[in-house]
Homo-oligomer: A and B are copies of this chain.
Amino acid sequence: MTIGIIGSGALGLYYGALLQRAGHEVRFLLRRDFDAITRKGLSVSSPKGDFHLDRVKGFRDPAEMGTVDLALVGLKTFANQHLVALLAPLMGPMTRVLTLQNGLGNEELLAEAFGAERVLGGVAFLCSNRGQPGFVHHLDQGRIRLGEFSGGLSPFAESLAESFRQAAIPCEAVADLRKARWEKLVWNIPFNGLCALTGQTTEGLLAHAPLRAEVRALMEEVIRAANAQNLSTPIAPDFAGRMIDVTASMGAYRPSMMIDRQEQRPLELDAIYALPLARAAEKGVEMVRVRMLHALLDAGEKTP
């Protein structure tokens, strides 16, 4: 399979490297890492084993990448205004596009531009970050759940999940992508925002009893909003508790939004907060704590 990676951050580099190692032809759109990777290849460190790819196809301009079988999107959502233009040169008549971006609204953007039938989405539960140019560090987790934007379990989604698994990426095709997205929000909404706001890791957050209670209350708000969205089956009541347990097992993790804030990048507030708040409100569900967290994060965006 030829695969184009748009958004070669910690997620795009890691999954792209695994797919190339498994024999796929992977083409990376690169900016910061272009020089390092085209000269010296790409190094992955991982508790599952380090490896190095000597020859990596890097591009500065998507127009030079050619059409691909699969376009994999790892772009930060705050750069979504560029996404369609970046992807367009990769889209041949049979190309499918899989967005692994955070939050809501990404599949809709791609469906509008390229047709709903070509769009897949996935949620990645991955702890990774970029090192020096040419280095990506996989810390923990890595599972992807992917599905068709149009819903249902397609043969393509199932075979794509199988290809990912053969590349050592734990992956599952799901019939209800919307449910998978909301389940991911149950994690993202409390941990990304509270860690970005307080400067505490997930471990620090969970060690502080009042914040741990807020994490759970935020999760319960999101579950209530999710279960008003006509999902195939509701999110189970014990989901919040399980998410907290999984997170506690991850140690002192810095969520992406905390890193974005510390490195003074924009935050993914629309995808992770504003759109979920709007979808909840459309169904008459007011997420009081989520709205306050969003307001506090948004205010921080306006101060230098």
Contact = CB atoms under 8 A, between A and B. Distances in A.
A296 B213 contact: no
A129 interface: no
Interface residues of A, number: 26
A284 interface: no
Nearest to A208: B299
Name A's interface SS. Answer: helix
A210 B289 contact: no
A303 interface: yes
A214 B288 CA distance: 10
Contacts of A198: 296, 299-300, 303
Contacts of A214: 291-292, 295-296
Contact of A303 (B200, B288, B300): B200
Interface string A264-304: 00000000000000000000000011011111101110110
Interface string A171-198: 0000000000000000000000010011
Interface of A: 194, 197-200, 204-205, 208, 210-211, 213-214, 217, 288-289, 291-296, 298-300, 302-303
